[in-house]
Amino acid sequence: MTGGGDEAVVRAASLAGLFAAGLADFAEIRPVAADRVPEPFRSLLDHGSHMTVAMERFHGGPVGVRVLAEHRGPAAARYAREILLAVPDPGHPGGRTVQYGIVRIDLAAVDPDIGDRILRRDEPLGRILIEAGAHCAVRDVRLLEVVPGPRLRRVLGPSATFGRVAHILVGDRPAIELLEIVAAP
């Protein structure tokens, strides 16, 4: 995926601002070219597919979701949530965190059944969209280098890592904005 450096940081800051006091509290975020992203981060992030699929393929099984916080916009159809994706791990109650994310969703742009499943908070977004057979396109993917600030450090640890911002169209309608950050090994 290419280009859009400053715009990618603005998009990430907008999403982070839904849950963090400011970008400095959240993380230091810089745009990064795909050829500067090491593996396995590049394979996990540099694609036009759902991160749920990429994470499940990489980790060899299903991922679960834990919603950390939610936010409803002034319009009832605007919904955002801050999440962790985790894989089963006997050494970590609730699983080992493999991804942090923030999604902002226009619930009016998705089928009401999909919206109901999203609001139940118990399934990763990608799985919901795939199982519902929603015609989705992941677009405007931009890669990021991420150095966790105090807020992000609490859930991902202190290590620098990589992430992405993207949009998901449902049908031909812009429906979802994403900030997805892979947990450093």
Q: What is the CATH number that goes with domain 5-182?
A: 3.40.1410.10
C-alpha 55/C-alpha 40 separation (Å) is: 11
C-alpha 7/C-alpha 27 separation (Å) is: 16
Residue 180 is encoded by which pair of tokens?
A: 């997805």
Could you give the C-alpha distances from 159 to 10, 141, 176, 181, in angstroms and in order? 22, 23, 28, 12
Per-residue pLDDT tens digits of the chain, which is 185 residues long: 445 668 999 999 999 999 999 889 999 999 999 999 999 999 999 999 999 999 999 999 999 999 999 998 777 789 999 999 999 998 888 899 999 999 999 999 999 999 999 999 999 999 999 999 888 899 999 999 999 999 999 999 999 999 999 999 998 889 999 999 999 98
Q: What residues does each domain of the chain span?
A: 5-182
> Is the overall model pTM greater than 0.75, yes or no?
yes
**Residue 154 · residue 144 · CB < 8 Å:** no
Report pLDDT for 2. Answer: 46
Report pLDDT for 73. Answer: 76
Report pLDDT for 4. Answer: 60
C-alpha 99/C-alpha 87 separation (Å) is: 10
